[in-house]
Amino acid sequence: MKYQNIRVGHFISRPNRFIAKIEIEGAEETVHVKNTGRCAELLVPGAEVYVQDSQQEAEDWLSDNELLQGEMQMAVSSKSTNIGKKRKTRWDLIAVRKGDRLINMDSQIPNKIVKEWLEQEKWNHNLHNQSDRIHGITKIQPEYTYGKSRIDLYVEAQNRKILIEVKGVTLEENGVVRFPDAPSERAVKHVHELKEALKEGYECYVFFVIQMSGVRYFTPNMDTHPEFKEALKEAAEAGVHVVAYDCSVREDEIRIQDPVPVILENPELYELSQVLVPWYQKARRDLPWRHTTDPYRIWVSEIMLQQTRVEAVKRYYARFMEALPNVNALANVEEDKLLKLWEGLGYYNRVRNMQKAARQIMVDYNGTFPKTYEEIQSLTGIGNYTAGAISSFSFGLPYPAVDGNVLRVITRITADDSDIMKQSTRKQIEEKLKKVIPKDCAGDFNQGLIELGAIVCVPNGEPKCEECPAAPFCQARIQGKIQELPVKEKAKARRIEKKTVLILRDEDKIAICKRPAKGLLAGLYELPNIEEHLNKKEITQYCKEIGLMPIHIKKLPAAKHIFSHIEWQMIGYDIRVDELEKTNNKKYLFIHPEEIQKEYPIPSAFEKYMKLI
């Protein structure tokens, strides 16, 4: 849309919302300000502004229509004269220059250019979603009354009834545009009306006209009017379309141009999506499982990395891959060999579940690892995190992978004080991340989040904020809450179990036994042990009761092992026995230590005592 009779000037002051003092061609003029918003960041003394000579425009209009006859000419002249009497100034403020950006300030123009745009059906050329396109428009009615509000535009097109509320946006900071720049109960009311109109079959849009170009994204102004942000978010969730378009702005023209991303909540996560991948690609550690997109290898690494340090996992990963290089090998390996390969990593049910999942893949997918998130998640032992990791790392699918590192990073960046131990918090964070995961680099985004939590936004200490790409917009840092987040409900105290561990020796062989098939450390081998702490006299009596004759008893150092919910507090004895194999009614196995080391999976709970055999 074009303007006529534009003059350049410089802003002096703004006595009230409706007028401004502007220097035009060396004289101070009173100028009508159509935009009654705050605009304090735009209208600063000395700012270059563009104004329209409305009196000249009216005279030009009359001159262009001088062929009008008699009464028509008199009526138009009379109307022009009356308008002129009502106005206190001939000038209208149209645009202002802020740095190298020209911003249109005409609050009456957004409705006009959206209407013009619809008439030309230009909207359809910029929409990726086919369902949002509006073809075959037969009616456009401005100022349509619905409920207790006047909605900016009503559109009919091929049996569709469409309500469009238009909002002009002029508030910009660092490429981010926000609305409103002052509290607007009217704006909240209109959004609520659109939400209600959905129930009567209307399609509804809130159309933000960004009255400038070159912006990064739009977000509701939480600082100025949080109620509008909540109303807009609720309306969007109900089905109201929220769109934003920037404009090509010149001194004498404004045209709708390109779509702008709309971020209705947590804009800091959108900011993160813009900087995280480049950071990760430069800062990531060189880890063996990052040299492949093979879903099997990524799966193995992810299960191993759960509650195990990266450096420790490296050697386990190499050993496991050498022995079981593919799904078929895992599906068919004997359990004792599988558990031996897993020895030292703990949580043995995880590797048992991996074997069950491998067998599922062999049967249900003909040995080929499934390629969709839903199919991957259906495998035994695979939850949201692992499914998201495999889906994104291997296949580039935009699904979140939220582990403890990610929970910590996101709750800090968003200053979220929800308890990260609750499933509801994890679910909310997954939903938020789904909205910002870049579709063209989902794997690097997810790995970047995990890496950020592992090496920068660390737990139990001072995060390395000076190295963090999210530092400029991290809300915990801005609000001084880094040490308070994340919020984590104190875990229940672990149950203490006292045990006496026995190294029973018969010449060069050591006694071991197999644990029950169910329960803690199910099916693994262990050193014989007894509940409670026993003294030497009690140990001697115990050995005799099970048919052993102790020759020599030596007390060993105490040891401790912590499981997720249990703590073993252990004491030990090194015991030489006589004729162990003949009198053994506990059915212990007596194995040479080298054979134990090679063939029998012993949990790390006994590591301190196994070093003594």
Name the residue range of residue 331's domain. Answer: 270-484
Q: Are residues 100 and 21 in the same domain?
A: yes
Q: Domain containing 538 — which CATH number?
A: 3.90.79.10
Name the stretches of the chain with pLDDT < 70. Answer: 56-87, 122-133, 579-584
- How is residue 273 annotated by DSSP? H
Q: Of 484, 516, 541, which marks where a domain is finished? A: 484
Kind plus residue range of the DSSP H or E element containing 136: none
**Catalytic position from the list 265, 302, 343, 430:** 302
Check if the beta carbon of residue 104 is closer than 8 Å to that of residue 212: yes
Catalytic site residue 430?
Answer: no
Give CA–CA dist 590/577, Å, rounded: 12
129, HSE (Cβ side, Cα atoms, 13 Å): 6
Please indicate, yes or no, if residue 205 is contained in any of the structural domains.
yes
Q: Are residues 459 and 512 in the same domain?
A: no
Radius of gyration of the chain (CA): 36
Q: Are residues 119 and 164 in the same domain?
A: yes
Listed residue (442, 452, 454, 451) closest to 293, CA to CA: 442
pLDDT at residue 71, as a whole number: 45
Please indicate, yes or no, if residue 490 is contained in any of the structural domains.
no
In this structure, are strands 149-157 and 171-173 parallel, antiparallel, or unpaired?
Answer: unpaired
**Residue 16: other Cβ atoms inside 10 A:** 8
Q: Are residues 530 and 549 in the same domain?
A: yes
Tokens of 124: 């359809």
Q: Are residues 504 and 471 in the same domain?
A: no
Interacting residues of 79 by C-beta distance below 8 A, sequence separation 6+: none
pLDDT at residue 319, as a whole number: 96
DSSP-H helix ranges across 306-464 = 310-323, 327-332, 335-342, 348-364, 373-377, 384-395, 404-413, 423-434, 442-455
* Strand, helix or coil for residue 509: strand
- This model's pTM is above 0.85: no
pLDDT at residue 160, as a whole number: 92
pLDDT at residue 214, as a whole number: 94
Please indicate, yes or no, if residue 427 is contained in any of the structural domains.
yes
pLDDT at residue 462, as a whole number: 84
Q: Are residues 226 and 305 in the same domain?
A: no
DSSP-H helix ranges across 93-166 = 109-119
pLDDT at residue 416, as a whole number: 97
Listed residue (268, 246, 255) closest to 169, CA to CA: 246
342, HSE (Cβ side, Cα atoms, 13 Å): 29
Q: Of 440, 455, 484, which marks where a domain is finished? A: 484
Check if the beta carbon of residue 526 is closer than 8 Å to that of residue 515: yes
C-alpha angle 546/552/555, rounded to 5°? 95
pLDDT at residue 466, as a whole number: 96
DSSP-H helix ranges across 107-253 = 109-119, 185-197, 226-238
Q: Are residues 187 and 230 in the same domain?
A: yes
Give CA–CA dist 299/277, Å, rounded: 22
Tokens of 142: 């401005």
Q: Are residues 274 and 354 in the same domain?
A: yes
In this structure, are strands 217-220 and 176-179 parallel, antiparallel, or unpaired?
Answer: parallel
Which strands form 176-179's sheet, in the order they lie side by side? 171-173, 176-179, 217-220
Give CA–CA dist 247/259, Å, rounded: 9
Measured CA to CA in angstroms, residue 293 lies from 289, 296, 321, 438 at distances of: 8, 9, 14, 18
pLDDT per residue over 135-186, tens digit each? Answer: 789 999 999 999 889 999 999 998 899 999 999 999 999 999 999 998 999 9
Q: Of 218, 239, 265, which marks where a domain is finished? A: 265
pLDDT at residue 579, as a whole number: 62
- Considering Cα of 579, then 582, then 584, then 588, what sign does the dihedral take? positive
Domain total for the chain? 4
